[in-house]
Structure 1
Amino acid sequence: MSIDRDTFENTSKEELAGLSIPDQVLGFLATNEDRAFKPREIASQIGVDEGAVSTALSRLKDRSLVEHKATYWAVTDDTERLEGYSGYERATALFNNQLGVENKETWREHAPDESHPSVEVALT
């Protein structure tokens, strides 16, 4: 997976070496916690082979860190479980360095008041 120059210059060798494929997958899903993805979409976004992503997802599911429905995968909403996983902390730190820390209140200000009808159908 490639990284931007700023991350290359400002991230320690240990942090870069320590971000495994499961950490990258979990970090991506956590960054996009309001969505679910197919393995090929995740692979495309993090620049890793789809087979490696599928293996990582299975391992993360065994640890109850992700949820799986049909062909879609999403990060768990169990924050205690996520916080107990050390790879989550490393991945979150790396994504925050790359993309900036998300301000959820600002995001909520721009979020729609109601869910799209397709979301309601998916939830029932």
Structure 2
Amino acid sequence: MPIGIDTFERESAFESGDTYAERILQFLGANDEQAFERGEIAEATGIDPNVVCAVLSRLKDRALVRHKAPYWAIGTQDRLASASNLSVSLESVNETLGPEQMDDWEQAGSENPHPSDRSK
């Protein structure tokens, strides 16, 4: 059974249950007094260097890591705490209401288009 691309993108996890981003953040957080090149992060986490590059770019967009070419370091404590608080809040909502299913949202949106999207 196929899944939506949003679900596919969200569920790229390791066997341990950690996502690539979590593994990279855990590594950088454990070594917060140093900055690393992409290849060093890949080697330490066991993640393909090309995947590390993509994940680091996304983490940088969210200010969870810092970058000064060619080095990468964990983000500021304030930004990490904010992201962690959001994550805990979302986990709490998911435990109470169940996780969101993007495919359900997409189906509901196609069945009930916004009035401005309806053709006359």
CA distance in 2, matches of 1:49, 1:80: 29
TM-score calculated relative to the size of structure 2: 0.55
Q: State the 1:81 CA deviation.
A: 1.2
The yes-or-no answer on 1:60 pairing with 2:59 is yes
Structure 1 runs (4+) greater than 3 angstroms displaced: none
User: Sequence identity, in percent?
Assistant: 43
- Aligned-pair CA distance for 1:85: 2.3
Letter in 2 for 1:50: P
Q: Larger C-alpha radius of gyration, 1 or 2?
A: 2
How many Å apart are 1:70 and its aligned residue?
Answer: 1.5
Distance 1:79 1:69 in 2: 18
Aligned residues: 73
2:82 paired residue number: 84
Q: Deviations over 1:24-75 (max 9, x none)?
A: 1111001100000001100000111001111110000000011110200001
Q: 2:54 corresponds to which letter in structure 1?
A: T
| Structure 2: tracts of 5 or more residues without a match | 1-14, 89-120
Residue 80 of structure 1 deviates from its aligned partner by: 2.1
Q: With the length of structure 1 as denominator, give the TM-score of the two structures.
A: 0.53
Residue 43 of structure 2 aligns with which residue?
Answer: 44
Which residue number corresponds to residue 102 of structure 2?
A: none
